[in-house]
Amino acid sequence: MTSLRAWMAICIIFMLIPTTAPDSKRTLDHMLNSALWRSLPAVRQGRVYFVEADRWNWNDAMTRQKLLTALPKLLGASS
């Protein structure tokens, strides 16, 4: 349990936002309004980043290259 608590203390969550599937959007909304979600350390500490699923949920070299540029900006890094 100690290692789980240590991991949760530094955890960052990237959440894909569904843009075309109404059921997925409703499920996401339900989860985001749940007590369990709000209890997560990363959520309480503002370390959750939302990205559009249809833009970032691809497994190709071009998307990975875009992610390398976008992720530091999402995290607020000065690169």
Q: Report pLDDT for 65.
A: 87
Q: For 2-59, write each residue's pLDDT tens digit.
A: 676 677 667 888 888 888 888 988 999 999 999 999 998 889 988 898 888 888 778 8
What is residue 57's DSSP assignment?
Answer: -
H-run or E-run covering 38: helix 35-39
Q: Are 14 and 40 in contact (CB under 8 A)?
A: no
Specify whether the backbone of 46 is left (phi greater than 0), alpha (psi in -120 to 50) or beta.
Answer: left
Q: Residue 19's Cα: distance from chain center in Å? A: 15
Q: What is the dihedral of CA 19, 49, 27, 44, to 10 degrees?
A: -160
Q: Residue 42's Cα: distance from chain center in Å? A: 10
Q: Report pLDDT for 36.
A: 92
